[in-house]
Amino acid sequence: MLLVGLVKNPRELLVAGFGGAVGTGVDVAVLVLLVKHGVTVPVATFLAALAGAATNFGLNKYVAFRDHSPIDLRQLARFGLVAVAAALLMAGAMSIVSVKLGAPVVVGKLACAAVVFAIWTYPAQRRLVFARTASV
């Protein structure tokens, strides 16, 4: 399988993907609710992405990346930076895919989420947020 050759830990990627799917479920629910109540798509996308990120943090910390260390402010800050960057990427992507190209909001959201996960969220969480420190 091509994926196995490109990824150091396929289990971690799959479980992080599952955590991302759960976070995306929360994200989509918030997105639909906000858009239904008149919030613009880019703003709603940004806020919804942050809600999904909060869900995703717990799942990725304890399940995907098996990080059982206590949560500390530095890790939360790194996760927050990754989540805000992901939310900004999602807002930009959604303004193109759903606003300019006219894709339905949920379809656009799912497509954009898959791309942002692959190019930013997973690599950044693996390297910056949940990186294992070398033991001496």
> 59: left (phi > 0), else alpha (psi -120 to 50), else beta?
alpha
Please indicate, yes or no, whether the overall pTM of this predicted structure exceeds 0.75: no
In this predicted model, what pLDDT tens digit does every residue of 24-58 receive, in sequence order? 899 889 999 999 999 998 899 888 878 888 888 98
Residue type, 3: L
CB 116 within 8 A of CB 20: no
User: What integer pLDDT is reported at residue 134 of this predicted model?
Assistant: 34
Which alpha helices (H) appear in 7-72, and where do they start and end? 10-36, 41-59
Give the model's confidence band at 7: pLDDT under 50 very low, under 70 low, under 90 confident, else very high: low
Token pair 């994200």 is found at 27
In this predicted model, what pLDDT tens digit does every residue of 66-119 receive, in sequence order? 988 898 899 999 999 998 899 899 899 999 999 999 999 889 988 998 999 999
Q: What is the C-alpha separation between 119 and 125, in angstroms, rounded?
A: 11
Q: What is the C-alpha separation between 28 and 114, in angstroms, rounded?
A: 13
